[in-house]
Structure formats: structure tokens, C-alpha cells
Structure 1
């Protein structure tokens, strides 16, 4: 059993690492083509971002791998494979629940990370990326990586979700994590400045957090920033 758990943890770590390298590499390539020279002189920073991110991949992958083993071998989680087990509308709502819960957790832990001691001990690693690049999405100190690694594995125990919808959540998490750190806005202005865009976080919003530090703490949505008065608009 221990070998099976270890194999699952290692496999999930490899998947998270490859997902990071693939997504960040793709958007870094896009940056080179669309904004040539934007990352000029940042090779040393990028190497550090990749190093921290690969360490974070293990911290994310190990609990995910243990939970994946528990789901397959012991039926521990609320993940279901039969589309008929829940109404179609619920299958579509479940990812929104996951993203909203993740966003809430991220907002409050992120604000806590900006207190002087947690920032100095852990969060300063992420903000050492000046400016952030497409490689910085998972550039975290292990303490910060651990706070992010527990969310999805915890949710699958309490919120039923189909594997396809869970894959959608992970895709959104990966794409937004990378694109919010690219240093330029890839989404069209018509979306960013629309009514929907007024509630969604993109690079224009998150870049302002990296510029000013004490604002724009959200991950996917601007709800908590607006409610708590920490939204400072777009860069």
C-alpha cells in the first residue's frame, strides 16, 4: 500500500511539474513573440522562478497524489464518474463552487501573507519576481505553496465533482495563474473593461498588486477585493 501511495504521489508531482513547464513555457514563448524584449535581462530571475516552482510542484503533487490514490483504491472522496449521478446543472455549477471557494481561501491567506512576518519569511519569495514573468505563477516559498496545495484536495472530500469538471477547474487555475503574471494583458480590452471583466482578475488587475503590494489580493474574482475595499483597479 505504501508503495502504491508513493507511486501516486510521485506521478502527481510529475504531472504538476509538467503542467507548469508546459503552460509557463507556452505563455513565455507567446510573450517573446508578442512583447519581444519584455523579459530581457531576467534570465537569473527566471531560473529562480523555475526552481521555486518545481519545488512547489512537489508540495502540490504529494497531497494530490495521496488523495488520488484514496479515491481510486478506497473511494475516499466525493468525486463521481457517472454523469447521471447528479443533474446536469449541478455538474456545471460544481466548478464555480470550487473556483469561488479557492478564491476565498486565496484572498484571505494572501492578505495574511502580506503581514510583516509571513511576508518576510515566505511571501517575499514570490514578490522577488520584479517584474513577474510567465514562469512566476508557482514561484512560492514552501510555506506559501503548502497553503495553496491543500485547497483542491480538501474540496474533493466535501463537494461532489466529475473528473472532467475537476480537470476544467485545474485548467482555469493553471491558465489564470500563468497569464496573470505575464506582465502584459493577453485578453482583449473589450473583455477586460466589460461588466464581466469588472469582476474577473486578469494581468491588468494582478500586475497592480505586484506594483503596489497592499491591494488586489484576489485570484479569480474581484468580489472580496471590492467587498473589503482592497480593489485598486487595473494597471
Structure 2
């Protein structure tokens, strides 16, 4: 059993690391094309971000490996493969439920990371990326990475989700993490300044957090920031080119 668990954790660590490298590299290349010179002079920072992120990949991979092993070997989780096991409408609803719960968890743990002692001990690693780049999304201190690594594995024991929808949740998590940190706005103005932008977080919203620290703590949605009056709105659209 121990060997099986170890192999599953190693496999998931490799998957998380490769997903991070592929996604970040893709958006770093897009940055080079769309905003040439944006990351000039940040080579040392980028290598530091990659180093912390690969360590975070191992921390994320271990609980993910335990979940994968428990699901395949014992059926312990509520992940399912038969689309007929639940009504089809549950598939998109389960994605929304996972994103909403993840966003809630992230908002409150992220705010806690900004308490002075927690910031000094942990979260300062992430904010050392000034400005952040496409490589910074997983650049965490190990304790912060551990706090983020447990939420999706915990949810699969509580809320049923099709394996394909779980893959979609992880893809959204990765894409939004990278695009919100890459230093420029991917989405057009009509989305950022329109109705969708009043609910969804993009680089223009998150870059203000990296500039001012005490606002805009959310991950996917602006709900908790709005409710708790920590939403200071969008930075200037062009400011997202350089989140300082």
C-alpha cells in the first residue's frame, strides 16, 4: 500500500509541476509577443518564482496523490465517471459549487495571510514578486502552499463531481492563477469594465491587491470582497501591464 500511495503522490506531483510549467510558459510566451520587454530585468525573480512554484507543486501533489489513490483503489471519494450517476444539470452546477467554495476558503485564508506575523513568515514570499510575472501564481512559502493544497482534495470527499468537471475546475484554477499575475490584462475592456467584470476577478482587479496589499483578496469572484468591503475596484486598465 505504501508504495502505491508513494507512486500516486509522485505522479500527481509531476502532473501539477508540468501543468504549471506548461501554462506559465505559454502565458510568458504570450507576454513576450504582446508586451515585449515587460519582464526585462526580472530574470532572477522569475527563477525564484519557478523554484518556489516547483516546491509548491510537490506540496499540492501529495494530497492529490492520496485522493487519486483512495478514489481508484477504494472508491473513498465522491468523484464519479458515469455521467448518468447524477442529473446532467449537476455537472455545471458542481463546477460552480467547487469554485464558489474554493473562492470562499481562499478569501478568508488569504486575508489571514496578511496578518503581520503570517505575512512575515509566509505570504511575503508571494509578494516578493514585484511586479508578479506569469511564473508567480504558485510562488508560495511551503506553509502557504499547504494551506492551499488541501481544499480541493477535501471537497471531493464531500461534494460529488464528475471526473471531467473536476479537471475543468483544476484548469480554471490554473488559468486564472496565471493570468491574474502576468502583469497585463488578457481580457478586453468590454469584459473587464462590463457586467462580467463586476463579478469576476481578472488581472486588472488582482494587480491592485499586489500594489496596495489590503484589498481585493478574492480568487475567482468579487463576492466576498464586496460583502466585506475590501473591494477597492479595478486599477487603471493599463496599470495591469505592470502590477507594482
**TM-score of the superposed pair, with normalisation by structure 1:** 0.99
Match of 1:61 in 2: 61
User: Unaligned regions of 5+ residues in structure 2, if any?
Assistant: 236-244
Distance in 2 (CA, whole Å) between partners of 1:173 and 1:125 is 20
Distance in 2 (CA, whole Å) between partners of 1:17 and 1:26 is 14
Match of 1:52 in 2: 52
The structural deviation recorded for 1:194 is 1.0
Which segments of structure 1 move beyond 4 Å, counting only runs of 4 or more?
none
- Aligned 1:73-222 pairs, distance under 5 A: 73-222=73-222
Distance in 2 (CA, whole Å) between partners of 1:157 and 1:52 is 28
How many residues in Structure 1 have an aligned counterpart in Structure 2? Answer: 235
**TM-score of the superposed pair, with normalisation by structure 2:** 0.96
Distance in 1 (CA, whole Å) between partners of 2:98 and 2:92 is 11
Deviation per CA, 1:76-119: give whole Å up to 9, x if none. 00011110010011111000000000000000000000000000
Distance in 1 (CA, whole Å) between partners of 2:88 and 2:76 is 23
The alignment's C-alpha RMSD in Å is 0.4
Match of 1:231 in 2: 231
The structural deviation recorded for 1:15 is 0.2
Distance in 2 (CA, whole Å) between partners of 1:43 and 1:108 is 32
User: Unaligned regions of 5+ residues in structure 1, if any?
Assistant: none
